[in-house]
Amino acid sequence: METPTAKINLYNLDFEALTELVQELDQPPYRARQIWDWLYKKFVHTFDEMTNLPAGLRKTLAEKATLTELQPRFIEKSQDGFTKKVLFSLQDGKLIETVLMRYDKRNTICVSSQAGCAMGCVFCATGQMGFQRHLTTGEIINQITYFAHELAKEDSRITNVVMMGMGEPLHNYDNTLAAVDRMIDETGINLGSRKITISTVGLVPAIRRYADEKRQTPLAVSLHAATDRERDALIPVNRRWPIKEIIAACRYYIDQTGRRLTFEWALIRGENDTVEQAEKLGEILQGMLCHVNLIPLNPTKGYGGRPSDPARVQAFIDTLREYGVSATVRVRRGIDIQAGCGQLRDRIVSND
Per-residue binding string, ligand SF4, 330-349, x by CB under 6 A, is: -----------x--------
Among 97, 168, 271, 346, binds ligand SF4 (CB under 6 A): 168
Q: Is 121 a catalytic residue?
A: no
Q: Is 168 a catalytic residue?
A: no
CA proximity to 2, closest of 74, 66, 71:
66
340 binds, among ligand SF4, ligand SAH, none (CB under 5 to 8 A by kind): ligand SAH
CB nearer to ligand SF4: pick between 10 and 163: 163
- Binding-site size for ligand SF4 (CB under 6 A) equals 12
Pick out residues in 120-149 that bind ligand SF4 (CB under 6 A): 120-121, 124, 126-127
Asked if 339 and 76 count as a contact pair (C-beta separation under 8 A), the reply is no
DSSP structure class, residue 104 = S
Binding footprint of ligand SAH on the chain (CB under 6 A): 123-124, 164, 168, 199-201, 222, 264, 266, 295, 297-298, 300, 340-341
Q: Alpha helix locations (H) across the chain? A: 15-24, 30-37, 55-64, 125-129, 137-153, 173-184, 204-212, 228-234, 243-257, 275-285, 310-322, 343-351
Write down the catalytic residue from 110, 121, 290, 341: 341
CB nearer to ligand SF4: pick between 22 and 297: 297
Cα separation values, 159 from 87, 120, 186, Å: 21, 31, 14
In whole angstroms, give the CA distance from residue 236 to residue 245.
15
130: left (phi over 0), alpha (psi -120 to 50) or beta: left
Asked if 202 and 238 count as a contact pair (C-beta separation under 8 A), the reply is yes
CB nearer to ligand SF4: pick between 166 and 278: 166
In whole angstroms, give the CA distance from residue 320 to residue 291.
10
Write down the catalytic residue from 97, 139, 168, 271: 97
Does 262 contact ligand SF4 by CB under 6 A?
no
61 binds, among ligand SF4, ligand SAH, none (CB under 5 to 8 A by kind): none
| Residue numbers annotated as active site | 97, 341
> Which residues here bind ligand SF4, judged by CB under 6 A?
117, 119-121, 124, 126-127, 167-168, 201, 222, 341
